[in-house]
Amino acid sequence: MYKTFYSLLREPFAKDTDPSEAYPGAAFQEALQALEYVKRTRGIGLLIGEPGVGKTFALRALKESLSPSLHHVVYFPLSTGGVMDFYRGLALGLGEEPKYRKVDLFRQIQQAIERLHHERRITPVFISDEMHFAKDAFLQDIAILFNFEMDSTNPFVLILAGLPHLQGKLRLNQHRPLDQRIIMHHAMPDGAAGEGRGGGLHRASVETGRGKASDLHAVGVGGDRSAVAGVAPCDQHVGHDVLVVGASAEKGRH
C-alpha cells in the first residue's frame, strides 16, 4: 500500500535486504564494532535486543565481512530444531559426519574446531541466533562444548544472539560458567532509544520518487513524504507504522 505512495522500488525491512545496503545508523555501526571485537579477540560474544532492532541483520553483515580464507562460518538459528539437531548441525557445518552419541559428538566438534584453527589457520565462527529459546540444559552444554581451557587462546568465535531476557537467563547461577566466559555483551537500542522513531527507509534498498530516502531527514510521523527517511533499524514494526500513518495522513489532506 504505502510502497506505491512513497514510490519505493522494494519492500522496506525485507528479510533479504543485502547488508551492503545497510542503513549505517549508530545502532548498526555499534553492533558491528562489538561483533568485530569478538572476531578479533576470539571467544564468546552476546548480542541482544528487542524484536526487529536489527540483530539478525547485523549478524548477516558480520558474516558477509568475513574472509573464507580466515574464517569458517557456521550459522545456526536455534528455532530450527531440537538440541541434538543443533549439535549435528555444528558437526556437519564443520565438515564432519556427525557421531551418534552425544559425548562422541561433542569430542568430534571440539577436535574439528581445534584442527581448523591450529592446522589450517582458519577460525570457526559460530553464529547462534534466537538463543532466547535455549533451554537451561542446552546453555549448560554450550559451556562444556566451547570450553578449550587447554588452549592459551580461544580457537573459535561464538556469537549468541537473542531477545533481552537471554541476558537475564545467563545471569542465573547455573549459567555462570558460560556467562563468565562472555567477553562482549552488546544490547542494541530499541526504537525509543535508538535512531528515533521517525527513522525510516533506507539508503540503497529504497528510493523515493524525490531522490534517495537517506537524503531526507525524519521529522516524525507526518503528512509530508519527506518526513520519512532512513530505515528504522530501531524497529521494523515502528517503521511500517510510520509509513502507513504518513501515507494516510498525506492522502487525507487532498
Ligand X SMILES: Nc1ncnc2c1ncn2[C@@H]1O[C@H](COP(=O)(O)OP(=O)(O)OP(=O)(O)O)[C@@H](O)[C@H]1O
Residue 52 in the binding site for ligand X (CB under 6 A): yes
- With CB under 5 to 8 Å by kind, the binding choice for 236 among ligand X, Mg ion, none is ligand X
Q: Which three cell numbers stand for residue 147?
A: 570450553
Enumerate residues 72-91 that contact ligand X by CB under 6 A: none
Determine which residue in the list 54, 196, 199, 246 makes contact with ligand X, applying CB under 6 A: 54
3-state secondary structure of 31: helix
Residue 106 CB partners (closer than 8 Å, separation 6+): 87, 141, 144, 145
C-beta closer to ligand X: residue 131 or 145: 131
3-state secondary structure of 49: coil
Minimum CB separation from Mg ion for residue 127, in Å?
11
Residue type, position 130, single letter: E
Residue 198 in the binding site for ligand X (CB under 6 A): no
Enumerate residues 5-44 that contact ligand X by CB under 6 A: 13-15, 17, 22-23, 25, 28
Closest CA to 191 of 202, 183, 199: 199
Which stretch, 55-63, 108-116, 175-183, 207-215, contacts ligand X (CB under 6 A)?
55-63
Q: How many Å apart are CA 133 and CA 160, to the nearest integer?
A: 11
Q: How many helices (H) and strands (E) does the chain have?
A: 9, 7
Minimum CB separation from ligand X for residue 27, in Å?
7
